[in-house]
Chain A
């Protein structure tokens, strides 16, 4: 614990520390292999941070550490200034939601019931909260463009439809701002993996609106979003910042224009690319060259 305090950079004031989800020098070893080493990464409110990296670079491991699902062997993770393991599970669940790559759910809940499970950490004994939860679940489904699936059985849905229902579930989990507008965190592990083109953009545009406080709901909140993606152009288009992992180490982080450079991408992915200005927006456009 004492060493953890020493690690904290002196330049970071207490105010900014309590407004971040922060990995400080974390390392993870499993079976003699190093999965993560010396990773420092801070996610702030009001931003979408995209995590990139080749297969096995440690993206999911880092995500699990930040979610508290996996304890880091070195370093620590701080959420709103407090170490992750010092939070009670329920308090944590009201402050951060995690969208997994896939869920082993195999029971025929309706999509609405699945979305409503996001309200479990908010469950009170009040009868009115049940009705509120249903309303929120329905609105979250609508936000995730899955409104029409509400009464469908989860087991009959396609992979992409299931993913959107789970997105609605994690949106429902963070639907309301916390008292005192304490920062909340949304962690999405490859949310676009099984989505069609339109929904890939729809989902990322949605979380970007949430982070930038542009949506109709929620009114005002402080939210930071971490997204694991494979598509560099989606990262460039929707990320406020981009971080690249390579073999468990942080290779680069910064704005898309800073990080998504040909040499950097060649190093991280082993793929030669050309990077040109996007014709319609300010972000870079990455074009793979034939290998």
Chain B
């Protein structure tokens, strides 16, 4: 766990230091120290501006989104009793994105009442609602009598991804130029929209699942035994499942609202941790938060620097890395269970 914390700190430092303008790590530390009220040393003003208004919000957002997606992935895998459940694979991210895109495109017309009512939170709340509905739908489809079918789970994910993709496509077709620009960023995922207000709304919504899900570690462990077995251990199964679904959807919805669809983080991170630390959610959930944040920042760093001055959408990068990883997992599963 200590190693993970150090990893997060190092990657965060690199993420703030590296970019079109390279800032020496010492300056980064000085600027951060100044923020914390320590006596700030001499630091170039343009460096300070770059750090405070560009790099720092982006870094914080990356940590939040990565942590949220990874913890949501770990929790969903526990809920579905299946290590292949990833928010993007089973359609939860697509559902959240569809709802968010609806708000972007129809916010001024069809959904004007909704956006007027919810104000700046309409996007994250819509994404949360979309994520919640799809999670519940997938869960209903894939579970019967306390058992979850992997095949149905993944097939339901395909169907929901296709449906939501069609919906998003239709809305894209209806969108105007300005909206199209925003939508492109949705479909591929990016941390480019990092501003302090965006960070603030994401932090509000992701903090709750990040703090609450680790408290449910024992419940998630028990659920892995099976629903009946968890019930015999004194767990209020249905109630707990609803809470876990809501918390996971909240994390995914908030992440999708600020950064679009970034796939595979929720799959790869918990899997790596299970290999290293075992499946106990007591370690898995906090570990996923840390490693998820670090990995997403690292991916963002690559996305920003590989093709400078342009920027790769980070969703493409995580899919390039996560896709083969998922295929390898599937092959292993085919040999053992399924």
Contacts and interface: CB of A to CB of B under 8 A. Distances in A.
Interface stretch (A117-125, A175-183, A201-209, A212-220): A117-125
Nearest to B280: A113
B233 A121 contact: yes
B225 A67 contact: no
Scoring A91, A98, A104, A114 by chain B CB atoms within 10 A of each residue's CB, the highest score goes to: A104
B218 interface: yes
Interface residues of B, number: 26
B83 interface: yes
Contacts of A118: 233
Contacts of B222: 117, 120
A154 to B, nearest CB: 9
Given A98-B232, A118-B233, A120-B234, A105 B225 contact: yes
B224 to A, nearest CB: 5
B147 A94 contact: no
Contact of A93 (B228, B233, B279): B233
B278 A109 contact: yes
A223 B146 CA distance: 29
Given A89-B235, A109-B280, A120 B218 contact: yes
Contacts of B235: 89, 120
Contacts of A123: 218
A108 B224 CA distance: 11
A64 B222 CA distance: 18
Contacts of B82: 106
A69 B228 contact: yes
Given A107-B279, A113-B280, A92 B228 contact: no
A73 to B, nearest CB: 18
B337 interface: yes
Given A89-B234, A93-B234, A108-B274, A117 B81 contact: no
A89 B238 CA distance: 12
B24 interface: no
B221 A100 contact: no
Shortest beta-carbon contacts, A-B, top 8: A93-B234, A121-B234, A90-B234, A107-B279, A98-B232, A104-B226, A89-B234, A120-B233
30 contacts: A68-B231, A69-B228, A69-B232, A89-B235, A91-B234, A93-B233, A94-B234, A96-B232, A103-B226, A104-B147, A105-B81, A105-B226, A106-B81, A107-B81, A107-B83, A107-B224, A107-B274, A109-B221, A110-B278, A113-B278, A113-B280, A114-B225, A117-B233, A118-B233, A120-B218, A120-B222, A120-B234, A123-B218, A155-B336, A173-B233
